[in-house]
Amino acid sequence: MPRPPTMADLAAHVGVSRQLVSLVLRDAPGASDETRRRVREAARELGFSPHVAARSLRRARSKDLGVIFAPAHSTEPEIVEAIYPAAAERGYDVMLSAQTATRSTDQAVEELLGHRCAALIVIGSDLKHTGLRAVAERSLVPVVDVGYGRRNQFYDVVRSSGDRGIEELVDYLAELGHRQITYVDPASMPPGPLRRRGYERAVKRLELAGDIVSMPGDYTEGNYFEEVGAAAARTLLERRELPTAVVAPNDHAAVGLLHTLIRNGVRIPDDVSVAGFDDALIARLSSVDLTSVRQDPGLMGVSAVEAAVRRVEGQEMRPRETVVETSLVVRSSTAAPRKRG
Amino acid sequence: MPRPPTMADLAAHVGVSRQLVSLVLRDAPGASDETRRRVREAARELGFSPHVAARSLRRARSKDLGVIFAPAHSTEPEIVEAIYPAAAERGYDVMLSAQTATRSTDQAVEELLGHRCAALIVIGSDLKHTGLRAVAERSLVPVVDVGYGRRNQFYDVVRSSGDRGIEELVDYLAELGHRQITYVDPASMPPGPLRRRGYERAVKRLELAGDIVSMPGDYTEGNYFEEVGAAAARTLLERRELPTAVVAPNDHAAVGLLHTLIRNGVRIPDDVSVAGFDDALIARLSSVDLTSVRQDPGLMGVSAVEAAVRRVEGQEMRPRETVVETSLVVRSSTAAPRKRG
DNA sequence: TCATGGAACTGGCACGTGCTAGTCGCTGTC
DNA sequence: GACAGCGACTAGCACGTGCCAGTTCCATGA
């Protein structure tokens, strides 16, 4: 298997010096139109592709944004998708590194640092503040946390306004006429406290009774949240009277709750309105059709790139916090409360 | 922002030559235990991480497997997750490149070739045979297609035995006593023809009537398949009599079908058994609980790595086809048919 | 006393590219 | 006719690492 052609090969093929080939391929001034044409043609003919390792070795500063993400998570792929065009627009390449069950965030960080990325974007990491701070201090490079972090002086934070999202959701339910709105709180969910604050603010402002069903247990991915929702539903069913609306800060929990209520003869939304958070795929299933709060993953990706580039290019070295607005998605799982006899 | 330390920095810090540092970090023989200890300690202290660009520049052959995947697809993340440990075990690193709405497979290929990957693993690409063949011929490097391809002399193929999976599913339904088993065929789905062949084989062998509802339309991701299933259900409901079982070669289609039937008063599985394919997340929802055929994404990832490594290391240059077995996952959407009056 | 040999360590080139500092030849100007 | 100026091109070093070919030192043996 022959090795891929280098600039020297192109130069020999065309009959010029290697430096001139470099000039042409970099679109730098100093070559005649005719030469440019011939070099480009040779590049196409020989199937040349620049050796990025050599290039980034020579270049002092790199033009790569390192992105750490967990393929198993559901919303992160959309963020990753948005990062590519946003980075390209600003002249940066993207280098992905996955964090999986068998591959820690630290390993992913180490790989990206090995590639001398200009900045690290960490999406939905399992790292807490101290972990991220350690990464930021070790890497000597701007770090952007996309997820649930809070403003700090070590790394940038991009998060969605979960509190305002929940607040808006409760407002909407109240406008429909609901006065008894229960909130299911999966205690250990990372973005939990923030979203709960939104509920508490709305309850206070609207002068509602307020009712929080707190569900303990460790945070894990996947179907766990469905169980949390089902358990919360059972708790509610044991009461003398159901609330007219239930909010869960997670779609999977809301779906578990919804189905458990239905199976126990509760009609949705006639008897009880149910709403979730995330606008996950299951919320959009026609059989579920769950009112939810949508985070804008595209905007989060773009914001992350903006934050990284801002600090890489030294315009503003202090880490910031970027809050991306959420939006309410009303579906058929919520409606005005029925008048109760 | 100071630049990251190099081997030369470590050497100066310890008071030895750069080459000795290189020796130690490569675990090559020729350094005393004491020196090793001091070098390693300095590396930790200064936060050294090897510059992979420089390393791969120097090394003739690279130890990177390039992986192209579409973050938006649902099963691919699991394959990607499996690739990491499989590659690590064989001494290879993984380099990811995403194929998105705004980023073509060709762009992804170009990036990975720029990194001089030793092989390319293309997961669930939108490229047809000619496209993949072009990639294989251009890249001068082994290419592995994970998806729906067929055996050929240009690139390796790793796919699951969709035909046998469907066949096994029909066998299972027949054993339950079903004789009228309808197959919903979303015509343009890439793995469609293969799976359909499985149905046809089973029908012939078991001497069933056979009934294929073919649904035209272009293949797109996401909720489209639900619509396909819903439309198929409407077609069936217009008939004088329903079959006792329906198989759809895609979970989303099966779910759309399932819910449309339920909404029209059909009881599942009492009146009709419904089964899907993929064992997707929605199939596992307690409210859906769909009998399905599971593809083993982990095994597909490992097989892809094996195929790539086999050809990189020149043991066997001819591309192969690897077929990964599927397995039946029985849930509550299927049961023995009710005796009809 | 001196060759032998191995362990521990160093010198130096190479990988493919970017970039600065040139060289060369031609044209226009006084 | 000397020389500045300019366009087109080239020489050569540097980036950080891997690895081959040494070199030094010290213990061993005859």
Write out the DSSP string of B232-265: HHHHHHTSSS--SEEE-SSHHHHHHHHHHHHHTT
Q: Which of B98, B140, B285 sits opposite A282 (nearest CB)?
A: B285
CA of B33 to C1' of C3 (A): 29
The answer to whether position B231 is within a domain reads yes
CA of A256 to C1' of D3 (A): 88
Quick one: A37 and A126 in the same domain? no
Given pLDDT bands bounded at 50, 70 and 90, which one contains residue A189? confident
Helix, strand, or coil here: B269? Answer: coil
Rounded mean pLDDT, A266-284: 93
Quick one: A32 and A102 in the same domain? no
Quick one: A147 and A167 in the same domain? no
The answer to whether position B336 is within a domain reads no
Q: Does B221 score more than 70 pLDDT?
A: no
Residue A173 sits in which domain range?
162-295
Tell me if the bond preceding B269 is cis, omega within 30° of 0. Answer: yes
Neighbours of A129 (CB within 10 A): 14
Rounded to a whole number, what is the distance in Å from the CA of B158 to chain A's nearest CA? 20
Of A42-46, B62-66, B172-176, B224-228, the range with the lowest mean pLDDT is B224-228
Chain-chain contact of B102 with A93 (C-beta, under 8 angstroms): no
Rounded mean pLDDT, A187-209: 94
Quick one: A78 and A35 in the same domain? no
Quick one: B219 and B237 in the same domain? yes
Quick one: A169 and A284 in the same domain? yes
Quick one: A218 and A264 in the same domain? yes
Q: Does A177 touch chain B (CB under 8 A)?
A: no
- Structure confidence at residue B341 (pLDDT): 45
The answer to whether position B57 is within a domain reads no
Q: How many distinct structural domains can be found in chain B? A: 3
Q: Which of A51, A100, A138 sits opposite B116 (nearest CB)?
A: A51
Quick one: B40 and B136 in the same domain? no
Q: Using one digit for the tens of pLDDT, what is the confidence trace for A43-92? A: 999 999 999 999 999 986 788 999 999 998 878 889 999 999 999 999 99
CA nearest A301: which of A25, A92, A9?
A92
The answer to whether position B124 is within a domain reads yes
Quick one: A178 and A134 in the same domain? no
Q: Which residues touch strand C (CB under 7 A)?
A: A 3, 6-8, 18-19, 22, 25-26, 28, 48, 50-51, 54-55, 57-59; B 16-20, 23, 30-35, 54, 57-58
Find the CATH number of the domain harbouring A221: 3.40.50.2300
Give B232's contacts (C-beta < 8 A, 6+ positions apart). B184, B213, B215, B246, B248, B253, B256, B257
Q: Does B222 score more than 60 pLDDT?
A: no
Tell me if the bond preceding B50 is cis, omega within 30° of 0. Answer: no
Nucleotides of strand C under 7 angstroms from a protein beta carbon: 7-12, 14-20
Joined together, the tokens standing for residue A129 give: 């503040």
Give B104's contacts (C-beta < 8 A, 6+ positions apart). none
Long-range contacts, B51-54 (Cβ 8 Å, 24+): B51/A57, B51/A114, B51/A116, B51/B4, B51/B6, B52/A53, B52/A111, B52/A114, B52/A115, B53/A52, B53/A53, B53/A54, B53/A56, B53/A57, B53/A115, B53/A116, B54/A53, B54/A57
Quick one: A135 and A215 in the same domain? no
Pair A251, A282: CB distance under 8 Å? yes
Pair A61, A118: CB distance under 8 Å? yes
Instruction: State whether the beta carbon of A170 lies below 7 angstroms from any atom of strand D.
Output: no
Measured in degrees and rounded to the nearest 5, phi and psi for residue B323 equal: -110, 120
With residue A14 as reference, give the H or E element that holds it.
helix A7-14
Quick one: A214 and A148 in the same domain? no
Rounded to a whole number, what is the distance in Å from the CA of A260 to chain B's nearest CA? 9
Rounded to a whole number, what is the distance in Å from the CA of A205 to chain B's nearest CA? 36
Given pLDDT bands bounded at 50, 70 and 90, which one contains residue A341? very low
User: A273 pairs with which residues across the strands?
Assistant: A245
Smallest Cα–C1' distance to nucleotide D10: which residue has it? Answer: A17
The answer to whether position B339 is within a domain reads no
